[in-house]
Structure 1
Amino acid sequence: MWKHRCYHDYERRRLIRRILLGILAFVGLVLLTIIVILIILRPTKPRFTLQDAVLYAFNLPPSPTELPPPTLNLTMQATLSAHNPNDGIGIFYRSLDVYVSYRGQQVSRAVVIPPSYQDHHDITVWSPYLYGIAVPLPPYAVDAVREELNTGAVMLKVVVEGEVKWKVGSWVSGTYHLHVNCPAYMRLAGGRIGGPERCGVDV
């Protein structure tokens, strides 16, 4: 009786080990297949271009005193395009926020771009209006704004922050952080960029 029970426990443990090994082998095979597919297809990060930008307002409203420091008002419309250069790989865009940056500081509210899917070689275009009202600036930025108001031109950056996922067949990857930086050198008072500007993209 005791030998029979020991043999039964031994067979049960061996069966459990086989099941676990089978599950691990299956998961490993799936991961290996995905890795091989990604290596063969070599997913490339999306390409962003600032197609156009119009600056309607960029000013420091007059203040009777320097306390509190002057604040910035900004209004801009930016036209951005995103191109998926991959063969056989789709891109899901999630939680995209677009805003304007000046000397490393966000100077407009973030505009949320609705989630979208981009098939291979597709191009998607967005044209959000970007506003900054009474944006507080550090002293160095206030001095820079005054100088650029005198010269009649300003260097701004249109920034996109968000998340992307890759899609191969029915498989969808995990989430990757997306950071896009688009330089925009613009004339004031209704000025616009001279032509399409390629953006820096980090994934």
Structure 2
Amino acid sequence: MSMKECDHHKGAKRRAFRRVFCCIVVFLFIVLVTILLIWAILRPTKPTFILQDVTVYAFNATVPNFLTTNFQVTLTSRNPNEHIGVYYDRLSTYVTYRSQQVTYRTAIPPSYQGHKEFDVWSPFVSGNSVPVAPFNFVGLGQDQANGNVFITVKVDGRVRWKVGAFVSGRYHLYVRCPAYISLGSRGNGVFVGENNAVKYQVVQRCSVSV
């Protein structure tokens, strides 16, 4: 008799466990479907970035295979979403030449961007005697002789989406802004300040990956 009661209790526990498990699965499924429906209705769109201008204070080969640079870049970002805000976390910008980083990273202060809002950032990025690969150093001399140098302004960081009171987890943000600057002949630039700095209007749309 005791064995039958024991088996009966075990069977009841199994059935109770199955009910609880099924309830949890159904609840999670409903939550997931709700989030997907909200996401589909709101249709979140990644932010857009435009490189407005590049001011060159220094772009000099100090000694063979070393480069000293000093830029100020102006970037605008726009949140195209009507119902979703964007938190920008831990953003940093830097410049590369021929896929090699030639400046140190400069941090951009964290910010929140509301619906359809714009932000403008004008950070300085520089590098003092940064080692450059020998083939890139040779290529730089050739580019300067031709009158055009191609650089890429990059922004890396993390973003979060805000829908009402809900804030998502962090997503990696990668921004790439190509720019041609004519260091050889400065006809396309405008002298600014007293340090022979040259400002180049770029107005180049950047590629954005999230």
Return the TM-score normalized by structure 1: 0.88
Cα shift at 1:28: 1.1
> Aligned partners of 2:65 and 2:13: how far apart in 1?
77
Q: Is residue 86 of structure 2 the alignment partner of residue 91 of structure 1?
A: yes
Cα shift at 1:99: 0.1
> 181-190 or 122-131, which moves further after superposition?
181-190
User: Partner amino acid for 2:98?
Assistant: R
> Aligned partners of 2:81 and 2:207: how far apart in 1?
18
Asked whether the 8 Å contact 1:186–1:192 carries over to 2, the reply is no
User: Partner amino acid for 2:82?
Assistant: D
User: Partner amino acid for 1:199?
Assistant: C
Q: Is residue 196 of structure 2 the alignment partner of residue 197 of structure 1?
A: no
Cα shift at 1:36: 1.1
Asked whether the 8 Å contact 2:54–2:202 carries over to 1, the reply is no
Q: Is residue 117 of structure 2 the alignment partner of residue 122 of structure 1?
A: yes
Cα shift at 1:151: 4.0
> Aligned partners of 2:132 and 2:165: how far apart in 1?
48
* Structure 2 counterparts to residues 36-185 of structure 1, below 5 A: 36-61=37-62, 63=63, 69-185=64-180
Cα shift at 1:153: 3.6
CA RMSD of aligned residues (A): 1.8
User: Partner amino acid for 1:73?
Assistant: T
Aligned to 1:43, the other structure's residue is in SS state coil
Post-superposition CA distance 1:47-76 (Å, at most 9, x none) = 001122201110112x4xxxxx33111000
> Aligned partners of 1:25 and 1:87: how far apart in 2?
32
Cα shift at 1:43: 1.0
Unaligned runs of 5+ in 2: 184-195
> Aligned partners of 1:177 and 1:194: how far apart in 2?
29
Asked whether the 8 Å contact 1:184–1:193 carries over to 2, the reply is no
The residue number in structure 1 matching 2:7 is: 6
Post-superposition CA distance 1:75-103 (Å, at most 9, x none) = 00011111110121122222212000111
User: Partner amino acid for 2:209?
Assistant: D
Unaligned runs of 5+ in 1: 64-68
Aligned to 1:120, the other structure's residue is in SS state coil
User: Partner amino acid for 1:176?
Assistant: Y
Return the TM-score normalized by structure 2: 0.86
Cα shift at 1:152: 4.2
Post-superposition CA distance 1:99-139 (Å, at most 9, x none) = 00111111000112232222221212211100111111112
Q: Is residue 41 of structure 2 the alignment partner of residue 35 of structure 1?
A: no
Asked whether the 8 Å contact 2:65–2:133 carries over to 1, the reply is no
Identity %: 45
